[in-house]
Amino acid sequence: MTKYVRLFCQKVIAVTAEATFARAKQAIEWQCVDLLVKPLEPAKLKQCLQKAVSSFVRQERLHPLHSNDAERYSYRSLFSEEVEAADVALLLLQTENPNKWRDIVSFLTQYPFRYPTRVLSLSNMVVCLFSGVSGDMKEEAWKLLRDWEAECTEPLAVVALPPDGGQTVRAQYQTARRLLETTFFIGYRQVIAPAPEYERWKELDPFLTPEEQRKWIDMLHRFDKQAIKTWMQREFLHMPTPFPNPEMVRTRLTSILAQIRRFMKTYHLDRGETERDYMRIFHEILYNRVLYRIVQEMLLFLYGLLDRAKEAEEQARADVIEKGIRYIEEYFRNPDLTLEKVAAAVGRSPAYYSHLLMKKYGISFRKLLTQTRIKEAKRLLAQTELSIKEIAYQTGFRTSHYFTRVFKEETKRTPTEYRDEQRKEPQ
């Protein structure tokens, strides 16, 4: 019996109802893939069949090819244009977690491909080269992805390229790597095939415009979580094809992070746990492979940051000096605002509050009030079409003549000159 098994059977799975030494010895003599004992478990049977097919296919892979063919399926073929074109299909596989790519190699070692295959493991991805393929490889890729997900929880992306006898393996590999970059936008658990919308990146300004910078400053200082969430989702999670270059998107995210950094400094939060969280988000932006995960992490960080900043602001308001300053910021438009009114609002005498203000900030009440009014006047001059008279009225000056004189003393130019300068600046 052993003679005929070896002669006619390439791979054998033995099944027995007797878990005895004799049956185990017989299975060894027949060089069985495995010995199963009844009753059979479906999962065990499937695993055994996959092992048998995989073992058989590996014997039929590239080893019988001529030396010229073997070179077309080598590591050299991925990186050298000197290797001539070959009618090769290609799959490129990558896990979302860079530390899990070795799991793909282990999985593919036992995987029962339908075609002769060469598996080439790289530093953070795996390339599979196939000969004798008919079709576009998408069906094979989806089957592989389903089988992977039946065994593993790690998200996997598979790029599938059909045979193209006019291209070198290197050219196909470069195309596959370019397609793999779309996972930044569409995520993993995908089979990605060539498509017109993936052929080029669209242009994207990687930096925030002045208007966007002001928008971010406003949202942060209003502690407006919903506005920030809406902005981030609209900007990054609903991008139409063609997509922008992922590196430009990462740069744009760091531009937002710069605004967040300034906000942190304002509230003295650029230290300790918050600083460590900030650096973690910076690392996420640089290295996370999926955009929506970066956005999710940024939002969670921002929510915590805004809570801490709001607490810091409430503590600052409890401080008598800060409370007085906020009173000035609220009522500076009133031309009758005086030191006496501010001091009364914080429950201190005018002389004592003036002393505290000078001691902490080195500035008099009158100077602080003037600076506050001029700051708002600058904003109105740059961002509105209001007349000089109207701006003077809205910033607490009794006459436009007095406003113009004070404005020039503070800025070395008239309100009209300042407005003209702002309009000349490139947008």
Phi and psi, residue 82, nearest 5°: -75, -20
Question: What is the per-residue pLDDT for 293?
Answer: 97
pLDDT at 61: 43
159: helix, strand or coil:
strand
CA-nearest of 51, 59, 160, 151 to 111 is: 51
Q: Do residues 117 and 135 touch, judged by C-beta distance below 8 A? A: no
Q: State the pairing for strand pair 89-95/156-161.
A: antiparallel
DSSP codes of every residue in 330-364: HHTT-TT--HHHHHHHHTS-HHHHHHHHHHHHS--
Signed CA dihedral, 235, 236, 238, 244: sign only? positive
What phi and psi, each to the nearest 5 degrees, are found at residue 190? Answer: -135, 150
Give the residue extent of every domain in the chain.
2-60, 67-198, 210-315, 319-424
pLDDT at 67: 45
Positions of the chain with pLDDT lower than 70, given as ranges: 1-10, 21, 50-72, 316-318, 425-427
What pLDDT does 154 receive?
95
Contacts for 130 with CB less than 8 Å, ≥ 6 apart? 88, 89, 90, 91, 113, 115, 116, 117, 137, 163
User: Which of these CATH numbers, 3.30.565.10, 1.10.10.10, 3.30.70.270, 3.40.50.150, describes 67-198?
Assistant: 3.30.70.270
Question: How far is Cα 62 from Cα 121, in angstroms, rounded to an integer?
Answer: 16
CATH of 319-424, picked from 3.30.360.10, 1.10.3720.10, 1.10.10.60, 1.10.760.10, is: 1.10.10.60
Strand partners, 14: 35
CA dist 181 and 333 (Å) reads: 54
